[in-house]
Amino acid sequence: MYLDRFRLDGKIALITGGNRGIGLATARAMAEAGARCMLSARSETDDSRALVAEGHAFTAGDITDPATPDALVAATLEEFGRLDILVNNAGVADGGAFHDFDDDRLARIMDTNLIAPFRVARAAVRPMLAQGAGSIVNIGSISGFVANKPQLQVAYNSSKAAIHQMTTVMAFEYAGRGIRVNALAPGYIRTRMAEGGMDHPEMSKVWADNTPMGRFGTPEEMASCALFLASDAASYVTGATLVADGGYITH
């Protein structure tokens, strides 16, 4: 009975940034749980093509293009006829001293990490309202809670804090209309976004030393969290930000 609540049989999931890392791992987890997935990213990878070969779908798009969010949802509805789950995963990271952080870099961070997820969620909510049910998982970060070290990244951290707040207020707005909205805040995870720091001996040591569990997480561990939040196992959970960071923000 309880394990069945983690199943997603008959559900349709749209996953942005679904061609690698946390997005791809989440698509695999949801597919294993019975969902059919629409993956989206700028381009396909061999791994995303493998999922498509198993009966899922892929649509390419630049998430920062204002037309893309509506197009992604439209493609999902055309392919599968409905949309039950959105995993708002696409994002970028950039850092540098605050006083030197120029407007172009600021715009890239905010357009990708905040404005685009806002637009995707806005587009996804509409069919969810029509069917009276849905689940949205926004991918935030521990960076939305803390100042990371040794890297300097005011813009990135601000964008992720905004995602957490967006999640809270969306959850409040739609809780009575059948739509749950939660966020996942990963710590340091072995993805392409973090691999530069993890390959750097000094930075890697600082990150690991500040993680009480003493290791980095994996995309698969984050996918398990996203699966929980999207599934009926979390049916009474909305407005939550689940931190999965090996204890990083405990001190």
Residues marked active site are found at 156
Nearest in space to 14 (alpha carbons), one of 178, 170, 128: 128
List CB contacts of 211: < 8 A, sequence separation 6 or more.
Answer: 187, 188, 245, 246, 247, 248
Beta-ladder partners of 139: 184
CA triple 173-175-179, angle to 5 deg: 100
What is the β-pairing status of strands 85-88 and 241-244? unpaired
Residue 214 region by backbone torsions, left for phi larger than 0, else alpha for psi between -120 and 50, else beta: left
Q: Report CA 66 to chain centroid distance, whole Å.
A: 19
What is the C-alpha to C-alpha distance for residues 242 and 211, in angstroms, rounded to an integer?
17
Show contacts of 52-55: CB within 8 Å, 24+ apart.
Answer: none
Q: How far apart are the first and last CA of the chain?
A: 38
User: Which residue shows structure tokens 């390419």?
Assistant: 60
